[in-house]
Structure 1
Amino acid sequence: MKFFYLSSNPNKDGLHEIHDRECEYIPSSYERDYLGPYNSGKEAMRKALTIRNGVALCKNCCSTTVHSIISDLSE
């Protein structure tokens, strides 16, 4: 589980970005709102939309890439 924050100031596209606590692009503590602990940026997005319109996921820390893990349990 990660801790997510919402930028108080919009980006160049006019959207408020969601960042996890470890993101290198997270705004200062004065320029963000705490969203809470979530499993993914998409979950944090639901909460963010109750606070602001025009919300986006940070492309750096909230990547939607899915990685498969394959394991052979027969051994």
Structure 2
Amino acid sequence: MKFFYLSSVANEAGKFEVHHRDCELIPDAIDRDYLGPFNNGAEAMRKAKNLNPESCLCPSCCSNMTQSVFFKCKND
């Protein structure tokens, strides 16, 4: 699980971004609200939308969090 925050300062598009704690673009502590622990950005987004309908996912830390990883086994 990761810890997610909602920015209280709008981005250039007027949206409030959801970030995980380790994001390089996360706002200072005074400019964000704690959302809680979630498995991915989509789960955090559900809570964020209840707090602020103008919420969106951070393109840096939340854009590819739910991608699956596939491994191909090689038969020798």
User: With structure 2 as the length reference, what TM-score do the two structures score?
Assistant: 0.87
* Secondary structure at the counterpart of residue 64 of structure 1: coil
| Percent of pairs with identical residues | 50
* Secondary structure at the counterpart of residue 35 of structure 1: strand
Moved over 4 A (4+): none
Find out whether 1:59 has 2:54 as its counterpart: no
Aligned length: 75
User: With structure 1 as the length reference, what TM-score do the two structures score?
Assistant: 0.89
CA RMSD of aligned residues (A): 2.0
Give ranges in structure 2 of 5+ residues lacking alignment: none
Larger deviation, residues 57-66 vs 26-35: 57-66
Find out whether 1:70 has 2:71 as its counterpart: yes
Give ranges in structure 1 of 5+ residues lacking alignment: none
CA distance in 2, matches of 1:46, 1:60: 19
CA distance in 1, matches of 2:51, 2:41: 15
CA distance in 2, matches of 1:67, 1:40: 12
Q: Deviations over 1:11-70 (max 9, x none)?
A: 000000000000000000000000000000000000001111111100100023613232
Paired position in structure 2 for 1:45: 45
| TM-fit CA distance, 1:71 | 5.8
